[in-house]
Chain A
């Protein structure tokens, strides 16, 4: 029962932070967790995580704000859905992880590569209505900066060349989808609905 880097001295339960998390779209499901550990043993990327989903839920319930933001758990979730289908309490763990990622980004915790990738991906979709690999790469590395380009991009050049050769990565951006403005409007409406739901 170790593995928590919470401060020494008696732990206090921060219900404020827990409540904030519960108010996320799927946040209230966290309350139902009974700490059985089924998610933990089902998780494909458990080894990469510092806290398993079970422990992450415990941190949230006890209100360990800092530990949560430091943790990589939600960023390592590959959304394989194994935990969600197996959870005996019916907690949609993948959806919760999604919300946690959104929440962390909204609080400015964007230094993780995964955060940059999600943001770039969305920007790309938003601006074209579809995906363009070149654009995604450009946006991602611009976000990550020189350090990552040096470290990462050159390491991946072989893959990039192979993709180019097979025509999997066009050099020129494709045309935007028809009615891009309408698609964007649709997304805005959905977002507004979501916000309304969260406020309620």
Chain B
């Protein structure tokens, strides 16, 4: 395809009033010798679009540059098909709406943005999708509990084949161990039957679902669209090929033997919720010590949960479970006394009705800190501090005490036997400056053949890492989606919703992979990183740093990319010291050319220049919103969007400094435990790389504070002027960059 550029400068929305459009056009036609350059006051109108379409059809324009509004608007209007490269120069939100109109510096800013885009086109090619042959469209669901069964049914309903793998000899998971479940349907007031038989029947009757029981996974190799899974069944193994995987292995109760301070182990009448469920399933709920039907029962909530010495998190399901079990007791004997000692009742969603029902039935809820459980020959006493009454309190002559002992995800254990909890040394041991390897707990569930480790990278408490706010099901292994209580503590109704969501994600992933497109957050992006392997030095930084473990390694340390695992963030590109990784439409030289195209005035002109690398996911929308709100900020800045700060290659900082920029500001997403980085680790890695940049600056004889990274989220638009102006003021104090003019 011949490269023929057409530049279309829109003067609508006040752009024409604030800028000299003719001068701007000269930048394109004279400086960059662009063959086609048109001006119009209303390019997004019907006639305006026709002008561009006509040029594409008759003048064979293949690269369309529209200088006008932000690329985040009118993307449907300016859609010229996949064979045309479209670039948008944001003159409206980023220049006209944030700067003085009719000003020399505003004009310079607009011209620079046009130069940046035209320079970008030099190295930009139309990406071609990486399409695998025979993309496998089956989905494997790991775990046959409520979430797993729901996912399997949902995927099958969407018309895809499912392989359902269950470790136990029959499907059901916790449903098998439950007498009844908290209601999943309106009016949410009475415990429901588990419906296990109907669920299993639905799965067995569905020809699209293949069920393996008493089966575990020995090995998972491959990538989305072509996973090769080795299953272990009995003594033998068998192979299954699938396109995506849903992890629904659930959670197990917190080890009750650690709850001795609440009487567990001291009396047989102190039981866990799971044990109480078994008693209820037997018929009459009777005291384990002597078989007497219970008259007085105490429930202790947060037994282990929300406790720094045990599980610091809320296990989310135990309140609802205890309410359900309290109703069992009340159902057996409406005169029975039931006390629930709680920290906070967290009956989320519709379960408020369930809580109210239990209260109406006479279950007594006591907000208290339990101080001890004592046993006087069969009868139990709970002592506590009643926080609402503000006094010590006790409930005595209890027949039983039930501990709501919370849940631990199956991914948190080091071994198949669920023996000891995993140590998190991997997360903590790494030194500050080195990239932190993802903590991977060898829980023997998926046994991935991935260079970074055999399981999903996990969060603090062993839950698989995922972007909690924006795309919770997407784990850090593309094509593998976590659902249900393995993902985070949740009750059954939430698990059903979760399983349905993960099913959707798995199907989306398969379809995207089939077309060669990326999944969330760069949905549909067909570009992928290309490795110039002949120049590779086997430093392994790309294989280590990829947040998604997309790159495997051969025995010599050469990277083996898996394009279908790739999310297109460019973290590998930023990591590579040899700069051999590039996308067709995003590369180190391309960004280098872009920043070099900016005109940096001589020192005596007293027009400083500050370069901003802004993350496309949050910082760029925030900058656009600042424009929409007409917030004015410094006229010395030039903004270049990046896919993720993780793609920041330090050579750009070097380039910017030697070009004569007075400072570089990096705007990325929040990182840390509660990160908001859309590529999980991108902004964190950028921060780590930046900590090393001070050396580079020292070598150049510059203040290291000239390069600064800040966290911006999409709601921070009102802070944008402050962030930018403060940084520019700081740079002003340092004086101009001594490299200017060299």
**Which residues in A have some Cβ–Cβ distance to B below 8 Å?**
1-4, 6, 8-13, 15, 22, 28, 31-35, 58, 61-62, 89
Specify the chain A residue showing the minimal Cβ separation from B386: A11
Q: Which residues of A contact B391 (CB under 8 A)?
A: 4, 6, 8, 10-11
Contact B393 A61 (CB under 8 A): no
CA distance A143 to B337 in the complex (A): 43
Contact A34 B359 (CB under 8 A): yes
User: A10-B392, A11-B393, A11-B394 known; A89 and B356 CB under 8 Å?
Assistant: yes
B388 beta carbon closer than 8 Å to chain A: yes
| Distance between B354 CB and nearest chain A CB, rounded to angstroms | 13
B395 beta carbon closer than 8 Å to chain A: yes
Choice from B337, B359, B388 contacting A15 with Cβ under 8 Å: B337
Q: Which residues of A contact B389 (CB under 8 A)?
A: 1, 4, 6, 11, 58, 62
B360 beta carbon closer than 8 Å to chain A: yes
Interface size class of B (residues with CB under 8 A): 20 to 34
| Distance between A98 CB and nearest chain B CB, rounded to angstroms | 20
Contact B360 A11 (CB under 8 A): no
Q: Which residues of A contact B366 (CB under 8 A)?
A: 13
Q: Which residues of B contact A2 (CB under 8 A)?
A: 390
Question: Which of A3, A10, A31 has most chain B Cβ within 10 Å?
Answer: A10
The contact string, 1 if C-beta is below 8 Å from chain A, for chain B 319-342, is 000000000000000000101000
Question: Which of B339, B383, B390 has most chain A Cβ within 10 Å?
Answer: B390
Q: Which residues of B contact A31 (CB under 8 A)?
A: 359-360, 362
Specify the chain B residue showing the minimal Cβ separation from A6: B391
Q: Which residues of A contact B536 (CB under 8 A)?
A: none
Specify the chain B residue showing the minimal Cβ separation from A7: B391
Q: Which residues of A contact B396 (CB under 8 A)?
A: 12
B367 beta carbon closer than 8 Å to chain A: yes
Q: Which residues of B contact A3 (CB under 8 A)?
A: 390
CA distance A125 to B403 in the complex (A): 57
CA distance A8 to B364 in the complex (A): 22
CA distance A61 to B389 in the complex (A): 11
Query: What secondary structure prevails in chain A residues at the interface with B?
Result: loop
Sampled A-B contacts (21; CB under 8 Å): A1-B388, A1-B390, A3-B390, A6-B389, A6-B391, A9-B392, A10-B391, A11-B391, A11-B393, A12-B393, A13-B339, A13-B393, A31-B360, A31-B362, A32-B356, A32-B359, A35-B367, A35-B388, A58-B389, A62-B389, A89-B356
Known: A1-B387, A13-B395, A31-B360. 6 other contacts (CB 8 A): A9-B392, A12-B395, A13-B339, A13-B393, A32-B356, A61-B364
Contact A11 B392 (CB under 8 A): yes
Specify the chain A residue showing the minimal Cβ separation from B296: A15
CA distance A151 to B395 in the complex (A): 48
Specify the chain A residue showing the minimal Cβ separation from B381: A10
CA distance A45 to B461 in the complex (A): 49
Q: Which residues of B contact A11 (CB under 8 A)?
A: 386, 389, 391-394
Specify the chain A residue showing the minimal Cβ separation from B356: A32
CA distance A11 to B495 in the complex (A): 40
Q: Which residues of A contact B383 (CB under 8 A)?
A: 10
CA distance A35 to B388 in the complex (A): 9
CA distance A9 to B386 in the complex (A): 12
The contact string, 1 if C-beta is below 8 Å from chain A, for chain B 570-589, is 00000000000000000000
Specify the chain B residue showing the minimal Cβ separation from A62: B389
Q: Which residues of B contact A10 (CB under 8 A)?
A: 383, 391-394
Q: Which residues of A contact B365 (CB under 8 A)?
A: 34
| Distance between B361 CB and nearest chain A CB, rounded to angstroms | 8
Q: Which residues of B contact A34 (CB under 8 A)?
A: 345, 355-356, 359, 365
Q: Which residues of B contact A4 (CB under 8 A)?
A: 389-391
CA distance A3 to B395 in the complex (A): 22
User: A11-B393, A12-B393, A15-B337 known; A58 and B388 CB under 8 Å?
Assistant: yes
| Distance between A152 CB and nearest chain B CB, rounded to angstroms | 36
Q: Which residues of B contact A32 (CB under 8 A)?
A: 356, 359-360
CA distance A8 to B359 in the complex (A): 27
Specify the chain B residue showing the minimal Cβ separation from A19: B362
Q: What 9 pairs across the A-B complex have the smallest Cβ distances?
A: A11-B393, A1-B390, A10-B394, A10-B392, A2-B390, A11-B391, A31-B359, A32-B359, A31-B360
| Distance between A162 CB and nearest chain B CB, rounded to angstroms | 48
CA distance A52 to B503 in the complex (A): 51
Q: Which residues of A contact B395 (CB under 8 A)?
A: 12-13
CA distance A31 to B362 in the complex (A): 7
CA distance A11 to B360 in the complex (A): 23
CA distance A200 to B366 in the complex (A): 29
Specify the chain A residue showing the minimal Cβ separation from B355: A34
Q: Which residues of B contact A15 (CB under 8 A)?
A: 337, 364
CA distance A9 to B394 in the complex (A): 10
| Distance between A58 CB and nearest chain B CB, rounded to angstroms | 6
Q: Which residues of A contact B359 (CB under 8 A)?
A: 31-34
Contact A28 B393 (CB under 8 A): no
CA distance A2 to B385 in the complex (A): 12
Q: Which residues of A contact B362 (CB under 8 A)?
A: 22, 31
CA distance A192 to B350 in the complex (A): 40
Contact A28 B388 (CB under 8 A): no
Q: Which residues of B contact A13 (CB under 8 A)?
A: 339, 364, 366, 393, 395
CA distance A2 to B390 in the complex (A): 5
Q: Which residues of A contact B339 (CB under 8 A)?
A: 13
Specify the chain A residue showing the minimal Cβ separation from B365: A34
Q: Which residues of B contact A12 (CB under 8 A)?
A: 393-396
CA distance A61 to B386 in the complex (A): 13
| Distance between B388 CB and nearest chain A CB, rounded to angstroms | 6
| Distance between B340 CB and nearest chain A CB, rounded to angstroms | 12
CA distance A28 to B339 in the complex (A): 17
Choice from B356, B360, B386, B392 contacting A28 with Cβ under 8 Å: B360
Specify the chain B residue showing the minimal Cβ separation from A33: B359
The contact string, 1 if C-beta is below 8 Å from chain A, for chain B 286-297, is 000000000000
CA distance A10 to B383 in the complex (A): 8
CA distance A26 to B356 in the complex (A): 16
Q: Which residues of B contact A89 (CB under 8 A)?
A: 356
Q: Which residues of B contact A28 (CB under 8 A)?
A: 360
Residues in B625-679 with C-beta less than 8 Å from chain A: none
Question: Which of A4, A11, A12 has most chain B Cβ within 10 Å?
Answer: A11
Q: Which residues of A contact B386 (CB under 8 A)?
A: 11, 62
CA distance A20 to B699 in the complex (A): 84
CA distance A12 to B364 in the complex (A): 13
Specify the chain A residue showing the minimal Cβ separation from B395: A13
Q: Which residues of A contact B387 (CB under 8 A)?
A: 1
CA distance A56 to B391 in the complex (A): 16
Q: Which residues of B contact A61 (CB under 8 A)?
A: 364
Q: Which residues of B contact A22 (CB under 8 A)?
A: 362
Q: Which residues of B contact A62 (CB under 8 A)?
A: 386, 389
| Distance between A44 CB and nearest chain B CB, rounded to angstroms | 23
CA distance A4 to B391 in the complex (A): 9
CA distance A63 to B83 in the complex (A): 78
| Distance between B663 CB and nearest chain A CB, rounded to angstroms | 51
| Distance between B521 CB and nearest chain A CB, rounded to angstroms | 38
Q: Which residues of A contact B394 (CB under 8 A)?
A: 10-12
CA distance A12 to B337 in the complex (A): 13
Specify the chain A residue showing the minimal Cβ separation from B367: A35
CA distance A41 to B109 in the complex (A): 56
Q: Which residues of A contact B388 (CB under 8 A)?
A: 1, 35, 58
CA distance A12 to B394 in the complex (A): 6
Specify the chain B residue showing the minimal Cβ separation from A35: B388
Residues in B82-101 with C-beta less than 8 Å from chain A: none
CA distance A83 to B383 in the complex (A): 34
| Distance between A91 CB and nearest chain B CB, rounded to angstroms | 11
CA distance A87 to B396 in the complex (A): 33
CA distance A89 to B353 in the complex (A): 10
